[in-house]
């Protein structure tokens, strides 16, 4: 682009249209190449969703197959007027929110520790990642039997050592139990993302800061944290998406009592214990709508961060 | 990368070949003889059956039996889908006592009444009458029990002697509660009771308690009775007993967890399935073997309060090999099968609680002398037609045979678990439960 304004000549216009045609051709070709993948993913993701919407309009209990009939929005009425949905939404927000925040804070702490050079760092890192690699169901069983068991669990044994009495975790503190276990499991995930962020930070900037007389805390607050912001945001988003689907610890430890009946557990209960396909589908559709709503807002802020990232 | 790709291709090729081969094998076998497909829960007794199927195949040349083992939930889904769609994949299925009457009434299971009656050597009258009642609808028997159980009170004789206590053969709940409070020490709990939310967990023993307190899930017109005074009194009693003398952290506990604590000598009493006795008496896994005593389920206003459960064999109506399937069902539940299990696998592994004659086999009586007499006695005295004080419109003790019950039972159990933890009162929990139960009751009218 030059600073003077030029009147385009006929040849230039011709060239431009030619370029336009070539561009269009190219675009068409790329679209054709993408099309099969697009069709495939539409069939794979959208058709089941449409079927789910159709199911959600049916009166269908698996053990009464002779009474399947069209019921319009009866199932949605149950979702919104019944006693299940709001407490479950609340439980989901509490459990997902607290676990994400706690695992993020712990993850940041461990990432900062692991960012330092020390003997055996590789081993320490591997050990720290382990909780994330254990299968969720197996991890929940380990927590139930080895850690939290009221008679032989290690946590209660440790409490006993410092003179405290044993805690009946699943009975008295179900929400705390689930949050504890999820935080334990997702801290390594947060730590990995934040560690990547820390290691991408330029050493020169940190050196310059220390030359200018900034202490470690001020360096962290004013240099490292702003640099980590993008990483924190992506970790929060991915963590929330994964934690929204948390199911195993609830099914194995608390069975949905005491405010641990999250949307994913409620959905399972409607479908496989209630055997009510219609109602489960309605709950599923509403859950998807809520999740899309939350994710859109979160994604939009996140993309804003990516676009304006350099400016901030 | 390349190696990985090659491996993948190799793997895919293998899968295809295996599929093709198994297809051929299936087709080949069918043209000469019958292959029965049996869908079953993966309980130890069923695994024994699979181990012994060779004897049946030898006695009946031309019939092969193929076992498909699944978890309980998967089995239910697979069988309902198969039967409802009429695919006829399975020839024999194992069905729990809760579902037999429902599936029978739906017309999903073959009526076995005449086949069983016409076979004199099978001796259908030998099957325990309460179990037969639980598996029949309007006089038609839809399944045969493979093994069955009731609930009993198990207690540690040593702990009772140390505390100077005795217990009668038919204790009342009040006596048990008083003993439990005395026996509850820092070292061991007074009693272990299930607190894990679930219709088959917490509500199996709790429903029997409610019934002996005079309560019931529904009256004879399907009106829910969940917040009626008797129901509330029963649940209050159970929750109070747990709080004052029960194990710690009850919401974590069901059959397996209580069994562990009992075997480790951490609890003095336990009210649960009679099958537990055979495990507690095994010195390899239990510290309390030989120290346990067994009495009838505690009562209050009724004479008996044990529950009734059985795993059964049934033939889906869609089976294409019904004759061979019936032959196998009869073989696996016959007197000869019990002899076969005893002689080849050991007498303690004979499936209990299905036939009266099991309890007169001398070797079995000797091997299971600690708990066999009481099991037979309890199983013969429970009444699945009317376990509580009032008549009920279904047959069954610790469950209601309507499709909605597992859902209702689960939700109310979650509410009661909140009451156990003290987050709500029993009355508040049951008021909410009443609404849930009534919605299901309305569908029965």
B151 three-class SS? strand
In a domain, B387, yes or no: no
Amino acid B217: pLDDT: 95
Q: Are residues B288 and B406 in the same domain?
A: yes
- Name the residue among B29, B391, B411 with its Cα closest to residue B211: B391
Q: Are residues B289 and B332 in the same domain?
A: no
Q: Which two tokens stand for residue B274?
A: 């009679």
Q: Which residues contact B238 (CB under 8 A, 6 or more apart)?
A: B193, B205, B206, B209
Q: How distant is the Cα of B251 from the closest Cα of chain A, in angstroms?
A: 5
Q: Are residues B327 and B434 in the same domain?
A: no
Q: CA angle, B411 as apex, B414 and B313 as ends, to 5°? A: 110
Q: How distant is the Cα of A84 from the closest Cα of chain B, in angstroms?
A: 10
Amino acid A13: pLDDT: 63
Q: Tokens 């350099």 map to which residue?
A: A310
In a domain, B201, yes or no: yes
Q: Are residues B133 and B189 in the same domain?
A: no
Q: DSSP letter at B254?
A: S
In a domain, B421, yes or no: yes
Amino acid A308: pLDDT: 57
Q: Are residues B271 and B318 in the same domain?
A: no
CB A191 within 8 A of CB A228: no
Which chain B residue is nearest to residue A63, measuring alpha carbons? B403
- Name the residue among B51, B45, B66 with its Cα closest to residue B146: B45
A256/B266 touch (CB, cutoff 8 Å), yes or no: no
B285 at A interface, C-beta within 8 A: no
Which chain A residue is nearest to residue B198, measuring alpha carbons? A255
Q: Are residues B160 and B285 in the same domain?
A: yes
CB B183 within 8 A of CB B163: yes
Q: Are residues B267 and B301 in the same domain?
A: yes
In a domain, B377, yes or no: no
Asked if residue B8 has pLDDT above 80, the reply is no
* Model confidence pLDDT, tens digit, residues A121-150: 889 988 999 999 999 899 999 999 889 888
Q: Which residues pair with B63 in a beta bridge?
A: B34
The whole-number average pLDDT for the span B149-156 is: 93
* Model confidence pLDDT, tens digit, residues B366-414: 888 888 889 999 999 999 989 999 999 999 999 999 888 988 999 999 9
Matching CATH number, A85-260, of 3.40.50.1370, 3.40.50.1820, 3.40.30.10, 1.10.3720.10: 1.10.3720.10
The whole-number average pLDDT for the span B15-41 is: 59
The percent of residues in chain B predicted with pLDDT above 70, rounded, is: 93
Q: What is the phi/psi pair of residue B354, to 5°?
A: -120, -45
Q: Which residues of chain A have pLDDT under 50?
A: 1-3, 310-312
Q: Are residues B294 and B213 in the same domain?
A: yes
**ipTM, interface predicted TM-score of the complex:** 0.78
Q: Are residues B274 and B132 in the same domain?
A: no
Query: In this structure, are strands B92-96 and B34-41 parallel, antiparallel, or unpaired?
Result: parallel
User: What band does B27 get if pLDDT is binned at 50, 70 and 90?
Assistant: very low
* Model confidence pLDDT, tens digit, residues A75-95: 898 888 888 888 998 999 899
* Model confidence pLDDT, tens digit, residues B333-356: 999 999 999 999 888 888 888 999
Distance (Å, rounded) from C-alpha A141 to C-alpha A41?
36
Q: How distant is the Cα of A271 from the closest Cα of chain B, in angstroms?
A: 10
Q: Which two tokens stand for residue A74?
A: 């009866």
Amino acid B171: pLDDT: 94
Q: Tokens 């193929």 map to which residue?
A: B66
A–B interface: beta-carbon pairs under 8 A: 85
Selecting from A257, A269, A272 the residue whose C-beta is nearest the C-beta of B417 gives: A257
Q: Are residues B81 and B38 in the same domain?
A: yes
Report helix, strand and coil shares of chain A as percent, to nearest 5. 80, 0, 20
A257/B198 touch (CB, cutoff 8 Å), yes or no: no
* Model confidence pLDDT, tens digit, residues B293-302: 999 999 999 9
Selecting from B248, B432, B435 the residue whose C-beta is nearest the C-beta of A150 gives: B248
Quote the domain boundaries for residue B51. 33-149+309-367
Going from the C-alpha of B130 to that of each of B378, B389, B396, the distances in angstroms are: 10, 17, 10
CB A248 within 8 A of CB A140: yes
In a domain, B348, yes or no: yes
B104 at A interface, C-beta within 8 A: no
Distance (Å, rounded) from C-alpha B406 to C-alpha B201?
11
Asked if residue B432 has pLDDT above 90, the reply is yes
Q: Tokens 């090729």 map to which residue?
A: B13
B388 three-class SS? coil
Sign of CA dihedral B19, B25, B31, B36: negative
Asked if residue B144 has pLDDT above 80, the reply is yes
Distance (Å, rounded) from C-alpha B115 to C-alpha B138?
17
In a domain, B22, yes or no: no
Q: Which two tokens stand for residue B207?
A: 């429903």
The whole-number average pLDDT for the span B270-278 is: 90
Amino acid A307: pLDDT: 58
Q: Which of B346, B367, B388 is the last residue of a domain?
A: B367
Q: How distant is the Cα of B362 from the closest Cα of chain A, in angstroms?
A: 40
Q: How distant is the Cα of A36 from the closest Cα of chain B, in angstroms?
A: 23
Selecting from B84, B264, B421 the residue whose C-beta is nearest the C-beta of A171 gives: B421
Q: Looking at residue B77, which CATH number applies to its domain?
A: 3.40.190.10
Amino acid B436: pLDDT: 92
Amino acid B336: pLDDT: 92
Q: How many domains does chain B have?
A: 2
A257/B197 touch (CB, cutoff 8 Å), yes or no: yes
Selecting from A151, A168, A257 the residue whose C-beta is nearest the C-beta of B266 gives: A151
Distance (Å, rounded) from C-alpha B347 to C-alpha B343?
7
Q: Which two tokens stand for residue B179?
A: 């003993």
Q: DSSP letter at A58?
A: E
Q: Are residues B357 and B322 in the same domain?
A: yes
Query: In this structure, are strands B267-273 and B189-192 parallel, antiparallel, or unpaired?
Result: parallel
B249/A169 touch (CB, cutoff 8 Å), yes or no: yes
Amino acid B208: pLDDT: 95
The whole-number average pLDDT for the span B84-100 is: 87
Q: Which two tokens stand for residue A51?
A: 């079927």
Amino acid A9: pLDDT: 65
Interface of A with B (CB under 8 A): 61-66, 83, 144, 148-151, 166, 168-172, 174, 253-258, 261, 269, 272-276
User: What band does B428 get if pLDDT is binned at 50, 70 and 90?
Assistant: very high
Q: Are residues B216 and B284 in the same domain?
A: yes
A88 three-class SS? helix
Computed over every residue of chain B, the mean pLDDT equals 87
A135 three-class SS? coil
User: What band does B25 get if pLDDT is binned at 50, 70 and 90?
Assistant: very low
Q: How distant is the Cα of B407 from the closest Cα of chain A, in angstroms?
A: 5
Selecting from B261, B266, B414 the residue whose C-beta is nearest the C-beta of A255 gives: B414
Distance (Å, rounded) from C-alpha A183 to C-alpha A96?
10
Sign of CA dihedral A265, A267, A268, A269: positive
In a domain, B260, yes or no: yes
In a domain, B73, yes or no: yes
* Model confidence pLDDT, tens digit, residues B224-253: 999 999 999 999 999 999 999 999 889 989
């Amino acid at each position: 682009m030059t600073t003077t304004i030029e009147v385009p000549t006929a040849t230039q216009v011709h060239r431009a249209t030619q370029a336009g045609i070539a561009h269009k051709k190219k675009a068409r070709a790329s679209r054709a190449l993408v099309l099969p993948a697009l069709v495939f993913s539409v069939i794979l993701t959208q058709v089941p969703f449409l079927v789910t919407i159709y199911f959600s309009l049916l009166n269908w209990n698996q053990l009464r197959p002779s009474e399947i009939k069209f019921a319009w929005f009866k199932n949605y009425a149950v979702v919104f007027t019944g006693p299940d949905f709001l407490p479950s939404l609340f439980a989901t927000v509490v459990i997902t929110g607290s676990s994400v925040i706690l695992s993020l804070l712990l993850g940041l702490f461990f990432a900062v520790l692991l960012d330092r050079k020390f003997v055996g760092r590789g081993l320490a890192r591997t050990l720290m990642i382990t909780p994330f690699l254990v299968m969720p169901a197996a991890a929940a069983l380990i927590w139930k039997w080895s850690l939290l068991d009221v008679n032989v669990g290690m946590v209660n044994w440790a409490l006993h050592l410092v003179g405290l009495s044993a805690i009946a975790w699943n009975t008295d503190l179900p929400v705390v139990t689930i949050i504890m276990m999820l935080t334990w499991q997702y801290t390594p995930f947060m730590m990995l993302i934040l560690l990547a962020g820390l290691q991408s930070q330029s050493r020169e900037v940190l050196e310059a800061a220390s030359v200018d007389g900034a202490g470690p805390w001020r360096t962290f607050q004013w240099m490292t944290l702003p640099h980590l912001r993008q990483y924190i945001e992506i970790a929060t988003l991915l963590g929330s998406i994964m934690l929204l689907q948390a199911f195993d610890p609830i099914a194995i430890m608390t069975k949905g009592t005491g405010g641990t009946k999250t949307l994913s557990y409620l959905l399972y209960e409607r479908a496989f214990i209630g055997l009510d396909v219609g109602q489960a589908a309605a709950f599923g559709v509403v859950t998807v709508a809520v999740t899309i709503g939350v994710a859109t807002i979160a994604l939009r802020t996140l993309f804003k961060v990516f676009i304006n990232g350099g400016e901030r | 990368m390349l190696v990985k790709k090659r491996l993948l291709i190799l793997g895919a090729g293998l899968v295809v070949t295996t599929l093709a081969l198994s297809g051929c094998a299936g087709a080949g076998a069918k043209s000469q003889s019958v292959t029965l497909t049996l869908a079953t829960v993966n309980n130890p007794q069923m695994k024994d059956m699979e181990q012994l199927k060779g004897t049946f195949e030898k006695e009946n040349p031309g019939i092969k039996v193929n076992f498909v083992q699944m978890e309980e939930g998967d089995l239910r889904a697979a069988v309902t889908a198969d039967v409802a769609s009429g695919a006829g994949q399975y020839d024999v299925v194992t069905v729990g006592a809760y579902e037999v009457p429902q599936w029978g009434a739906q017309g999903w299971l073959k009526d076995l009444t005449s086949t069983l009656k016409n076979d004199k050597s099978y001796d259908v009258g030998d099957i325990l009458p309460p179990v037969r009642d639980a598996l029949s609808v309007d006089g038609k028997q839809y399944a045969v029990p493979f093994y069955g159980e009731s609930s009993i009170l198990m207690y540690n004789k040593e702990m009772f002697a140390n505390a100077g206590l005795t217990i009668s053969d038919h204790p009342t709940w009040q006596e048990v509660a008083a003993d439990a409070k005395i026996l509850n020490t820092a070292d061991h709990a007074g009693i272990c009771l299930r607190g894990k939310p679930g219709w088959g967990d917490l509500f199996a023993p709790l429903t029997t308690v409610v019934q002996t307190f005079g309560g019931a899930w529904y009256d004879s017109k399907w009106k829910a009775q969940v917040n009626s005074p008797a129901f509330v009194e029963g649940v209050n009693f159970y929750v109070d007993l747990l709080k004052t003398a029960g194990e710690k952290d009850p919401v974590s506990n069901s059959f397996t967890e209580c069994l562990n604590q009992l075997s480790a000598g951490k609890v003095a009493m336990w009210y649960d399935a009679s099958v537990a006795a055979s495990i507690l008496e095994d010195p390899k896994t239990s510290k309390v073997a030989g120290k346990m005593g067994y009495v009838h389920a505690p009562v209050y206003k009724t004479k008996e309060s044990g529950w009734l459960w059985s795993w059964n064999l049934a033939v889906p109506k869609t089976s294409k090999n019904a004759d061979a399937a019936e032959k196998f069902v009869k073989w696996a539940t016959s007197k000869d099968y019990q002899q076969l299990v005893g002689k080849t696998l050991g007498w303690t592994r004979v499936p209990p609680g299905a036939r009266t004659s099991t309890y007169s086999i001398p070797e079995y009586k000797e091997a299971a002398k600690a708990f066999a007499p009481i099991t037979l006695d309890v199983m013969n005295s429970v009444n699945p037609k009317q376990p509580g004080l009032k008549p009920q419109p279904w047959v069954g003790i610790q469950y209601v045979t309507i499709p909605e019950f597992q859902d209702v039972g689960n939700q109310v159990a979650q509410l009661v678990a909140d009451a156990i933890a003290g987050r709500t009162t029993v009355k508040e929990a049951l008021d909410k439960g009443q609404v849930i139960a009534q919605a299901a009751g309305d569908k029965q009218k």
